[in-house]
Amino acid sequence: MTVLVRPKALGDYKIREFRMLIDGKWVDGAEGRTIERVAPGHGVTVSRYQAATKIDAERAIAAARRAFDDGPWPRMTASERSLTLLRAADMIAARADELAFLDAIESGKPISQAKAELAGAADIWRYAAALARDLSGESYNTLGDGTLGVVLREAIGVVSIITPWNFPFLIVSQKLPFALAAGCTTVVKPSELTSGSTLVLGEILEAAGVPAGVVNIIVGTGPEAGAPLTSHPAVDMVSFTGSTGVGRLTMANAAQTLKKVSLELGGKNPQIVFPDANLDEFIDAAVFGAYFNAGECCNAGSRLILHRDIADEVTARIASLSAKVKVGDPLDPETQVGAIITPQHLEKIAGYVSSASSDGATVAHGGAALDLGMGQFMAPTILSAVRPDMAVAREEVFGPVLSVLTFETTEEAIRIANSIDYGLSAGVWSRDFDTCLTIGRRVRAGTIWMNTFMDGASELPFGGYRQSGLGRELGRHAVEDYTETKTLNMHIGQRTNWWMPR
């Protein structure tokens, strides 16, 4: 039995109205249309945004272009930009409860999780502030007496930042502060489902002293507001997080003007478990990895690849612990799995479960939507007897659904892990460090966790192989991703005339 936490009515909550931020002004959209967000956990409208069109996107791009070409931000010292980012980090921490509440009601994530994400986001802003002062170029005094070479790092220019609905504040914080640290100007388009906290971030950045036009924030759909941000010739770089399908479209649009593109896309992440693993620790990590953020997470540990000798025992133990997971009201501090983002997405998740069951998989736990009186929820679900060729084992379900596969040899486990198009992350569980290193070196993924899962830090790069994306976020080189290099080749002394006839 799943532990249910039934949603409580929001009471006297008043719909929050938001405008767009363009060139330092809070404005309405050109067409005056709005987007309303219905809380997935409560079934009532909680936010109303101005809906951006191509006209609004182009206004925001023009503002960012002016701010980069003629404004003070790219010309400030690194220490000045760093201090501004530190002020923003302090203000994020001060308004963390407000921001977490917005993320919880708009995305359906548990409020306790949202608060933890805000703490992590503030740390990322502080880390970016430190990196701002570490950005440097190179010099070459080794090219002979007549030549000195200097390599400069310069901000790449105007950056379009497009973020998804599942981690509204955390993901914009993995991009925006590093672009700002480099001296770039930006246009940010959060998902139209969860834009509230990003718009509040605009208020914070204004108060922190970011000049007008440096950060512009618009809200709208991908075709209307997002597409211009990926194809406009005045944009120098696109940083996108979302589905692999939309990532391909983003890359194709950006190719029209040969922009730099950074893509953080989908994942179908395996956890490979050997018989000598600490199963008590793994069981906890497996449940967390599968159901964190209701499984609406590119890093979800949605594929368990279990050694056949322990598969039945481990599956039964995971099912037993899954039954204790608390599902329901995102605003209840005890909730561990909140609501599914939209009714349509809930149908998609249920469709994967139904299809897998028809193909021969066994529903070992859950398997159905939950009726809690309001909103939309999915029971934590475990599918056993899953084959590597099934859709549920190859495609990103993006819901609280765990697929269990089995292996006999290390080679077979590696082959199964690498048999899909994604390569974002993976986990390996064994007390034998040789086994862990073998898996870590041969599984093709951007992050390999060893005897843990979904740990992270601002200092560690994040990104994927293959169709999980291009480039990396976070880590000590994160600011460099938003720069170009320029070579200054300087002649010293009298130049030899080597071309013209004598």
- Which tokens go with 272? 């490979």
Burial status of residue 76 (CB atoms within 10 A of its CB: 0-12, 13-18, 19 or more): middle
Do the Cβ atoms of 383 and 356 come closer than 8 Å? Answer: yes
Taking the C-alpha atoms of residue 219 and residue 432, their distance in angstroms, rounded to an integer, is 50
User: Is residue 473 annotated as part of the catalytic site, yes or no?
Assistant: no
- Which tokens go with 463? 């990104």
Q: How many residues does the chain have?
A: 502
Calculate the CA dihedral of residues 157, 160, 218, 472 and round it to 10 degrees. -120
Taking the C-alpha atoms of residue 191 and residue 230, their distance in angstroms, rounded to an integer, is 15
Which of 238, 236, 290 shows the shortest CA–CA distance to 263?
A: 238
Which of 430, 424, 381 shows the shortest CA–CA distance to 403?
A: 381
What b/e readout covers 458-497, taking b as 16+ CB neighbours within 10 angstroms? beeebbbbbbbbbebbbbeebbbbbbeeeeeeeeeeeeee
DSSP 365-407: E--SEE--SSS-EE--EEEES--TTSHHHHS---SSEEEEEEE
Query: In 3-state terms, what secondary structure has residue 91?
Result: helix
Which of 99, 220, 112 shows the shortest CA–CA distance to 170?
A: 99
Catalytic residue among 117, 224, 264, 296: 264
Residue 284 to residues 290, 291, 320, 451, 452, Cα–Cα distance (Å): 10, 11, 11, 11, 10
Q: Which helix (H) or strand (E) holds 49?
A: strand 45-50
Taking the C-alpha atoms of residue 105 and residue 109, their distance in angstroms, rounded to an integer, is 7
Catalytic residue numbers, as ranges? 264
